[in-house]
Each structure stands twice: as C-alpha cells, then as structure tokens.
Amino acid sequence: MKPYYTMFMLVLFWSSAAYSQDDGSGSADCGGSYGNQNGGHGDANAGDSTASNISIECLGFNKQNNICDSVCNGEASVEPTTGVSPYIYYWNTGATDSVITGICAGVYSCTVTDFMGDTGTVSITIIDSNFVNTGTVAGPAAVYSGDTATYTVNNNIGSYYTWSASGGTIISGISTYQVTVVWGPAGMGTISTYEVDSNFCVGDIESLNVVIGVNSNLEEEQEQHQTAAIYPNPFTESTLIEFENTAGTSFELRVLDLSGKLIRERSAITGTRFVFRRDGMANGIYFLELRSKDQVFLGKLVLE
C-alpha cells in the first residue's frame, strides 16, 4: 500500500469591533513543505499506524487593526478548510474556541489539531492605530479673580473637545479647541480638556493648573488697570519694577500672596522705577499693586 498524506489549510480572519481604515490582507511567511515526506499518516514499511505533524507554513488572512489606540475590541478567527473534523483549537491566550473577541493589540497564535492528529499554527500581529494627541493646554497660568482668559489646544480638523474648569466658568467654545474662562474667587483653579476625533477615539485628559489671585476692590470698576514692567521675573534676590509716572505722582505699593494676605507695603513712590528686594519672602507667586489717586498698575512677582 502506498503511503498517503493529509493536509489542511487554516484561513485566519482578523477584524475589530469597529470599522477600520487600515484594513489589510496577505499571508504568513512561507517556507518548507506542507508535510513530512518520510511519513505522513502512514509509513510505507509499517502500514497506516502513525501520524506525523503537518506544519502549515503559508496561509492567507484578512485583518483590521484596532481603530483606536488602547481600545481592546479586536477579534480573531480560525477556519480550517481541509483536514478531518472535529478540530481542536488552542490560542496563546488559553482560549479553545475558533474565535476570540475583545482582544488588545499584540501577537496572537492559534494551533489547530484535526481528528487525525495533524496540526497547523498561525500567528498575526494586530496594532493600535489612530493615536489621539490632545496636546498641551496653552493659556495664562496666573490670573486675578474676575479675569477673563483664553485657553487652547491643538486644532485637529474633525475633532471636538470636552472642557471643564475648576474655579472658573467657561463662557464660550465649550466643544471647540479654544475656550474662554472667567475665573472666580482667589485660590487654585484647573482648566482641563480631552479630544474626541472623527472616529470617536478619545485622547488623554490634558490639564493646566491656574493660580487665581485677589484684586483690591477699592473703586476697581472705575479705574483703568495698567501693567507694570518687572524684570527679571522670576527672580531670586531682587528685580526692577518700572511704570509710567511722568507727573511724579505719589504711588503706594502693596504685595499680596495667593490668599490675598498683605505681605509688603510701601508708600510715597514718586519715580518711574525702583528695585524690589525679596528680604525674606518665601518662594512663590505674589501679586503686585501700585496705586495712586487715579491710576493702578498691576503685576505678578515670581520668586525662586
């Protein structure tokens, strides 16, 4: 009796739970033969008594990568088209069905054994695609209570953004890449957002901590605030403060910490510039106010 050989083919279908724009098909690396030419199921000299493994080394597959980064919604299935049923399936995940679902990016292999003991193994690498990078929140990190400020992230076409503000109120742009916030009482605030792209993939949450300082409430609504020039800033020992005072008007200096506590006070400043020394003040952010009868200059001091 002539020796005979049995061979079966595995076809792997790979898909994700969502549609993907990165569909692909192909075949595993090919090489060698499909069987043991010295054995098969039988032996020419010994009759039909032993079975040898038949290694499937070339097979086709279709795949769709996970559409979103870090979302485990992949699916893999194996379908032998030849061989003798029933078949036994064993995946490297430990699963024993022909289909595995809810899988993450990675390499998955499945060994199929038919009724005669012949085996075939196939593996495929699935990757995450479409990583969503929300980007860094840009905008002022130190404001006064009542200030209106604008914050932005990357403007990616087709995406929308979900914002939240702790310590303030978002008054415009709630679903766009740019929002406007009115900051509330003095203290610490946070502005946060995350991006959802056109495939409904979600990016990481990005946040910016905001220091909210106190403004003096003496005739604030009627006065025109101006900004004092401070350099260097940040500073360690001293800094130069300049402001407009061509008339030689007498100004009063007040320095407050983040809670609104008065830290430093000085009166009868009649020039246009002076040196401010830290003189034992702790590292941190402080609010500076230069006030005359009809003018107010504001600034922020950053001590390191």
Instruction: Give the chain's mean pLDDT.
Output: 73
Give pLDDT, residue 94: 92
Tens-digit pLDDT profile for residues 17-64? 333 334 444 334 333 333 332 223 222 222 222 223 333 333 334 455
Is there a domain that residue 102 lies in? yes
Give pLDDT, residue 215: 63
- Where is the domain boundary, 64, 91, 126? 126
Q: Could you give the percent of the chain with pLDDT greater than 70?
A: 72
Rounded to two decimals, the pTM is: 0.44
Q: Stretch 208-223: mean pLDDT, rounded? A: 65
CATH code where residue 102 lies: 2.60.40
Give pLDDT, residue 66: 56
Is there a domain that residue 272 lies in? yes
Is there a domain that residue 3 lies in? no
Tens-digit pLDDT profile for residues 80-129? 777 788 888 999 999 998 888 887 888 888 888 888 888 888 887 777 76
State whether 181 and 248 are in the same domain. Answer: no
State whether 85 and 150 are in the same domain. Answer: no
State whether 246 and 292 are in the same domain. Answer: yes
Burial of 288 (C-beta count, 10 Å sphere; 0-12/13-18/19+): buried
> Is pLDDT above 80 for 256?
yes
Task: Give the C-alpha separation, 148 to 202, whole Å.
Answer: 28
What's the domain count of the chain? 3
The dihedrals phi and psi of 88, each to the nearest 5 degrees, come to -110, 130
Give pLDDT, residue 245: 85
- Where is the domain boundary, 126, 152, 183? 126
- Which residues, 6+ apart, have CB-to-CB distance to 60 below 8 Å? 11, 12, 25, 26, 27
CATH code where residue 241 lies: 2.60.40.1930
> Is pLDDT above 50 for 207?
yes
State whether 79 and 100 are in the same domain. Answer: yes
Is there a domain that residue 17 lies in? no
Picking from 161, 164, 191, the residue whose alpha carbon sits closest to that of residue 175 is 161
Q: Stretch 188-196: mean pLDDT, rounded? A: 92
> Is pLDDT above 70 for 160?
yes
State whether 184 and 231 are in the same domain. Answer: no
Is there a domain that residue 76 lies in? yes
Could you count the other beta carbons within 10 Å of the beta carbon of residue 88? 12
Is there a domain that residue 23 lies in? no
Which residue segment(s) compose the domain that 60 sits in?
56-126
- Where is the domain boundary, 186, 213, 240? 213
Please, are residues 255 and 294 in contact by the beta-carbon 8 Å criterion?
no
Is there a domain that residue 184 lies in? yes
Residue of higher predicted confidence among 293 and 39 = 293
Picking from 181, 131, 129, the residue whose alpha carbon sits closest to that of residue 154 is 131
> Is pLDDT above 60 for 152?
yes
Give pLDDT, residue 15: 33
Give pLDDT, residue 27: 39
Picking from 29, 27, 100, the residue whose alpha carbon sits closest to that of residue 61 is 27
Is there a domain that residue 32 lies in? no
Q: Which of 11-15, 123-127, 227-231 has the lowest mean pLDDT?
A: 11-15
Picking from 191, 199, 188, 105, the residue whose alpha carbon sits closest to that of residue 150 is 191
